[in-house]
Each structure stands twice: as C-alpha cells, then as structure tokens.
Structure 1
Amino acid sequence: MKQSMLVLFPLVILLIGFMACKTANDSNITQNKEERNVNADTSSGGGRLKISIGSKTFKAALGSNQAVAAFKARMPMTAVMSELNGNEKLFNFSSKLPTNASNPGTIHAGDLMIYGSSTLVLFYKSFPTQYSYTRLGRIEDASGLAKAVGAGNVTITFELE
C-alpha cells in the first residue's frame, strides 16, 4: 500500500505541474485552431443559405456534415423563433437531427447551430460559451442582425441559394 502511494503521489504532483504551466499562448493556439475549424466547417462546400427576417436578407455559408444535410432537406422553411438570453433565437424541430456537438469556446454573431439534437439556434451576439453545439453555418455579414431579429419572437425564413 505504501509503495503504491509513493508512486502515485509524484505522478499527481507532476500532473498538477503540467496543468499549472498552461500559458496565455496555449489559449491563443486553441483559439486559432478553433477559428480554422470554424472556417473549414463553413467553407467546405455545404452550400449557401438565404435567411430572410422581415425586409432584411442575410447570406450564410453552410458547413458540410450530416446535420447540414438534414437541415437542407427541410428547405425552404419558415420558423417562428423564440428569444433566449438576449443573444439568440431558437426553434425546436419536431424530430431529431444528426449531431456531432463540440464546444466552440466562443459564439459569434451570425452562428447557426443545433443545440441538443432538435433545437435550431441563431446567435445574434458574440460571447464565450461552455455549451456544446453542432455547427450548421455562419452568416457572412451579421451587421444589422440584432436589430433585424428584435427583442421577442421573430419569424425567419431559411432557403437554399
């Protein structure tokens, strides 16, 4: 018993030391890698989406994954999206979509994602997150998006270009 404690204790100390040595540079590397993944997800040939909110139209680049394919199969679609947290609009599908959720670290205004397996989320503000999502795509120019979606429920039409 004492021998196993003598071996285990230095390993725990070593592990704590490695964790304590993480620098700000490490988080920049992670963030840059995350940005590359976002760009790859939305530029890999999944197509383009036209998003209409009232008289305003936004263009989005779609990623290329099973969730995007399932989402595209529902096009065109009009959804009444509910307000949540002052930064996103959501719509619950009646059936599940395939997912491959991961934590993006930062949500960007214009991100279009699936939360869980059946909740479509359109983010209109940027913020850090601890939640995991399956990325569908991103609005290319999200300026004016927050104003277009407003403060309450909003009707949004999604159609393929």
Structure 2
Amino acid sequence: MRRAIILACSLLLMFSSTACGEDGNEPESASVPAQEESETMQMKVQAGDATFFAALEENTAAKAFLELMKDAPVVLRMSDYSGFEKVGSLGISLPENDSQTTAESGDIVLYNGNQIVIFYGTNSWSYTRLGKIDDLTGWTEALGTGDVTVTFSVN
C-alpha cells in the first residue's frame, strides 16, 4: 500500500510539472539590444570671431533652447559678472530644473529661467544645466574681459 501511495504521488508530481512547461509553439522573443546612448544634441556657440561647439544636456530647458535656436540663432549681449562668468538676458523664460551645482569653465546654464550664463571660471549656485563646450581651447580669450556678443545656433 505504501508503494502505491509513493507511486501515485510521483506520477502526480511528474504530470503536474510537465503541464506547466513550454509547448514549443510560442515564438522566442528576439533580444533587441538597448540603445546605449541617444544621439547627443549639439549647438554652435560663437563668441566674437571664435566658434565653439557644445553638447546639450538632456532636459526640458535644453530642448526648449534648441527649439528656440531652430527658429533663428539666439544672439545675446553678455556682460562679465564677478570675473568667472558672462550673463545675458534671453528675453523669454525657459523651463527650469534648478539644482545646486558647481559650474566650471565651458558650462552653459540657465539662471532664473531667463538668463543664459556661460562660465570661464568656477561658481557654485542653483542652475539648470544647458550644455558644455566640447573643446575649451581659446575659450577664455574669446570671451575677453568686458561685454561680448555671443551667438547660439543649431549645429
């Protein structure tokens, strides 16, 4: 009798495990590699006679700035502030996503939603990052010591 119970339990266990198995009729899911990097948005930054290129951040403010540049280049008269940055009024507000950050030379940020700030020095404050100059060769010299006209455009 004991053998019959063990045999019945074994058969029951065997049939229950095969009932849940794959039947082979379902197609195998194709593995699609995840896109590791999305295409980086770029812009051209002209300060005086020098031209630089910047990688834009992936945020709503940078996307709004890019859309603005698609209509026409954004030309700003930028003033020196505190010996480490140039500031220019955009004339309109862009979406803000401020966070406490330390900006460095080549950083392009949004301040108060309506001012573009480009750095040739370092400062810690609450900004929305817009982009970063790719190659800083000649950057500080191009910005100079006083006011400068800077043109931002789609690359």
Normalising by structure 1, report the TM-score.
0.67
Corresponding residue for 1:19?
Answer: none
Q: CA deviation at 1:54?
A: 2.0
Does 1:55 find its partner at 2:49?
yes
8 Å CA contact 2:84–2:123 kept in 1: the answer is no
Distance 1:112 1:44 in 2: 21
Task: Percent identity, please.
Answer: 40
Does 1:117 find its partner at 2:113?
yes
Look up the equivalent residue of 1:159 and give its one-letter code: S
- Report the count of equivalent residues: 116
Look up the equivalent residue of 1:81 and give its one-letter code: M
Corresponding residue for 2:92?
Answer: 95
Between structures 1 and 2, the one with greater strand share: 2
Runs in 1 of length 4+ with deviation above 6 angstroms?
Answer: none
Corresponding residue for 1:157?
Answer: 151
Distance 1:46 1:97 in 2: 20
Normalising by structure 2, report the TM-score.
0.70
| RMSD between aligned residues | 1.5
Is there any run of 5+ residues in structure 1 with no aligned partner, and where? 1-42
The verdict on how the C-alpha distance between 1:100 and 1:154 changes in structure 2, with shifts beyond 3 A counting, is: same
Between structures 1 and 2, the one with greater helix share: 1
Q: CA deviation at 1:64?
A: 1.3
8 Å CA contact 1:97–1:118 kept in 2: the answer is yes
Alignment of 1:62-81 (within 5 A): 62-75=56-69, 76-81=73-78
8 Å CA contact 2:77–2:149 kept in 1: the answer is yes
Q: CA deviation at 1:45?
A: 3.8
Is there any run of 5+ residues in structure 2 with no aligned partner, and where? 1-36
